Structure 1
């Protein structure tokens, strides 16, 4: 099923984008259309392209999905690009002999395009200076070779350079002419393929134009590979009836360009040469993104989340997770890292974990709030917590949702409680060895009552020999320390 688990509502954006592209294709006879799909890391670019490919294929549009990063092992970006496009088009258009012939011609013309290599002059000069190789093979037979008995090495070197320069210049001019001819033939072969496809004859009657080529993970590639691929798209595939959708994190792609051309180079202006327009994905809300990153974690019954419905189900856990992320104003990368660490803790915990306490310690460790993590670990208690909130400001408009129970009554109504007040229940009781002496500041909130009850029960369950006033907190610092060693791969 297409677009299953579409947590960021990308299907609606795909439908809108395809409608725009098809109308633009019908309304204009311009050359190919290249669109940069811009989105930050973690916003579903790969999910979008893979589902879009299935949709387009089902609608009859010849579609190619090219994973640039998967082909980055190749030293020749163009070789892998043309090869994969040819193979994918052959699968998508498995029809009459004419189409197969056009695809074959397209592929063969691509092979003829001569790639630029390291200049022969540079290679030769290095070898000569290091005396590592004989230069005679690099000079045409009709050129006078340097006198091997010549005593003046400077004169010998100058003579060699002069002859090599002439040879290299001639070779490069001939190569350029041949390349231009091959490029023209390649482009013409692509036009013929599009023209044949547009006829809609026989088995092709259900096929439509334009051809969609979806390029993914370009910003993760080596800078030279990424630039070579962009150059190919611009100069080789400029044919009406071909649409490129290139998904990138544009800021990362700009960094790749700067890595090749230098930090002062205007990467933004350079990239404008390759794309006709840019489409930026709608940024997900923090809650949407939180749902995406923790949806695959199997929480089971290993969590005390203290949510209003009194059940530690996924929605309750999600609600607390995103409220903590909102409160501490975490970015998308920070949220992803937090989800990885949380998963590690949940999967390795021997008992139910106190979600508010665990999230706080994970965020504290991850965000490096000075030395507060170590201070909590070594000292703990009310004073450290109060100083922490005095020295740091957070989003105080964010509250945890709970149910308030009036004292000595059994009626409840929905209410809210500040995150720092929930945390205070843990840290105010950190120094209390006897569970009977546990307390909380306000008796009207059931969330605090339940936390205290769980803390007391856990302390009572511990072996009498091991019981001490901070036993239940030690395991959290240990879990957080281990979990912090995991991280996402960029």
Structure 2
């Protein structure tokens, strides 16, 4: 009965894919072959939505590259978002990685890194501000006792105009030279990480870019492309391009062509495949001890819990992050209110928790004054998520086993009947009458009608009331107020 929390996916040093329940190994192997076949520097974007496991993916990939003796650096952009300059943050992360080197390469890398730091002063974004400080100080000296010496200021600014023009030209020429030298030194530094093996690039992973402040995210892209575009370095961005696009528009305006803008910085996109029918939620339920606990609670519904969970998350398209949130809710709910969550109430807990995650407005509409509308809308929602051709189990998409599919469909039909019992209690209506009305409303065929009748036979004695629905909602609210560490 003790609570557990979801742990981050463990990346085994000897076998990076030991705990890979999403079958990402093939994706990593393909991408590794891709990046090692390029001689030039490239920027590769691993594009996936929120909660689809980007961080775990690139950390598995990073460990896989380490096993191949390909040097890597992991840079969490969001954790460095507090800095004012992305260049400083990137160079700092490269400097920290020097400690992982040894022998002559380490000694050489330290010397090159020291040279890089000296050149950063010319490239950092506050350098121009420092040059203006003496000018501001001089103008300030021409203001005495609150009186402005207009003639002196006019003479100063006239001379300043010519001086600044000359200075800006010289500064431009100097910055170009410094940038050239910076890239040369950076390329040599990358060679130290690679052990002078020109077939092994330094791979820099940049994570959580879509969570950064818009200005910082843009600056990271600019620095990665313009300053780090040197031999021996490959950048891999793990980001949600849709969310990153929102950040870019926040800076440059809603009319900006984001895809066109990003093409300036990103050479290749790789859309991380969404996990389909994965074992992730089954793995989480075992990690938390929910599998045995829930099976013991659901005594009358003889169906494999793992198959039911897999199909529910597939139907409702739950992301990995949402699957974990669902397990967190179930984990806390069944252990803190175990006296209440027996049999049918646990099944309703599944449904309401999913509604909270995917359809929050529908979930919030549940109250004692809105009973009929809420049930009607939820039934509509359930029916909209049924696969096509549910009457012929041989033709249902993404179903590998007819017996497993039967459990899964029975589960949904059972939920429908329980919800119907909220607004049409058995003490007032016969279940045949309730089914007839429901079948007419949705124009179901006779096969579906018979399945509902069979499910109502199971529901007898397990009806649920609006008060119990509200109590389950209250349980979900208590459970979801506890935020646990994400596993993905």
* 1:94 matched residue in structure 2: 102
* 1:8 matched residue in structure 2: 22
Residues 167 and 284 of structure 1: CA distance in aligned 2, closer, same or farther (over 3 Å): farther
SS at match of 1:37: strand
What whole-Å deviation, never above 9, does each CA across 1:280-303 have from its counterpart, x for those lacking one? Answer: 111212555645765644325246
Residue 111 (structure 2) pairs with residue 104 (structure 1): yes
Q: Aligned partners of 2:382, 2:324: CA distance in 1, in Å?
A: 23
> 1:391-430, aligned counterparts within 5 Å?
393-397=383-387, 415=406, 417=409, 421-430=413-422
* 1:283 matched residue in structure 2: 274
Contact 1:11–1:48 (Cα < 8 Å) also in 2:
no
SS at match of 2:103: coil
1:238 offset after TM fit, Å?
A: 2.1
1:245 offset after TM fit, Å?
A: 1.3
SS at match of 1:475: helix
1:350 offset after TM fit, Å?
A: 2.6
What whole-Å deviation, never above 9, does each CA across 1:346-368 have from its counterpart, x for those lacking one? Answer: 34223344332112233445555
SS at match of 1:301: helix
SS at match of 1:24: coil
What whole-Å deviation, never above 9, does each CA across 1:58-99 have from its counterpart, x for those lacking one? Answer: 2111221222222222212111211211331x2343122x55
1:257 offset after TM fit, Å?
A: 1.9
* 2:473 matched residue in structure 1: 477
What whole-Å deviation, never above 9, does each CA across 1:103-147 have from its counterpart, x for those lacking one? Answer: 4213422442221238659988xxxxxxxxx9761459xxxx747
SS at match of 2:384: coil
Moved more, 76-85 or 424-433: 424-433
1:185 to 181, 188, 209: 181
Contact 2:36–2:199 (Cα < 8 Å) also in 1:
no
Moved more, 105-114 or 369-378: 369-378
* 1:176 matched residue in structure 2: 172
Q: Aligned partners of 1:80, 1:121: CA distance in 2, in Å?
A: 20
Moved more, 146-155 or 48-57: 146-155
Q: Bigger radius of gyration, 1 or 2?
A: 1
Query: What are structure 1's unaligned runs of at least 5 residues?
Result: 26-30, 125-133, 403-411, 460-468
- Over the residues paired in the alignment, what is the CA RMSD in angstroms? 4.6
Moved more, 479-488 or 344-353: 479-488
Q: Aligned partners of 1:247, 1:371: CA distance in 2, in Å?
A: 33
Q: Aligned partners of 1:64, 1:305: CA distance in 2, in Å?
A: 47
Contact 2:352–2:473 (Cα < 8 Å) also in 1:
yes
> 1:55-66, aligned counterparts within 5 Å?
55-66=64-75
In the superposition, the TM-score normalised over structure 1's length comes to 0.71
2:309 to 321, 337, 354: 321
* 1:137 matched residue in structure 2: 137
Q: Aligned partners of 1:321, 1:92: CA distance in 2, in Å?
A: 43
Residues 308 and 246 of structure 1: CA distance in aligned 2, closer, same or farther (over 3 Å): farther
1:222 to 213, 216, 221: 213
Residues 285 and 372 of structure 1: CA distance in aligned 2, closer, same or farther (over 3 Å): closer
Residues 364 and 233 of structure 1: CA distance in aligned 2, closer, same or farther (over 3 Å): closer
What whole-Å deviation, never above 9, does each CA across 1:248-289 have from its counterpart, x for those lacking one? Answer: 111122222222222222222222111221111112125556
Contact 1:34–1:244 (Cα < 8 Å) also in 2:
yes
2:37 to 6, 18, 23: 23
Moved more, 189-198 or 218-227: 189-198
Contact 1:216–1:246 (Cα < 8 Å) also in 2:
yes
What whole-Å deviation, never above 9, does each CA across 1:149-192 have from its counterpart, x for those lacking one? Answer: 89789888877766666666555544434332322212111333
Contact 2:379–2:416 (Cα < 8 Å) also in 1:
no
Residues 208 and 249 of structure 1: CA distance in aligned 2, closer, same or farther (over 3 Å): same
Higher relative contact order (CA 8 A, sep 6+): 2
Residues 199 and 477 of structure 1: CA distance in aligned 2, closer, same or farther (over 3 Å): closer
Moved more, 242-251 or 423-432: 423-432
Bigger helix share: 2
Contact 1:77–1:228 (Cα < 8 Å) also in 2:
yes
In the superposition, the TM-score normalised over structure 2's length comes to 0.72
What whole-Å deviation, never above 9, does each CA across 1:172-225 have from its counterpart, x for those lacking one? Answer: 54443433232221211133345567775xxxx8x9622222221122122222
Q: Aligned partners of 1:194, 1:374: CA distance in 2, in Å?
A: 57
SS at match of 2:206: strand
Moved more, 151-160 or 332-341: 151-160
1:52 offset after TM fit, Å?
A: 1.7
Contact 2:17–2:25 (Cα < 8 Å) also in 1:
yes
Residues 172 and 482 of structure 1: CA distance in aligned 2, closer, same or farther (over 3 Å): farther
1:81 to 82, 87, 90: 90
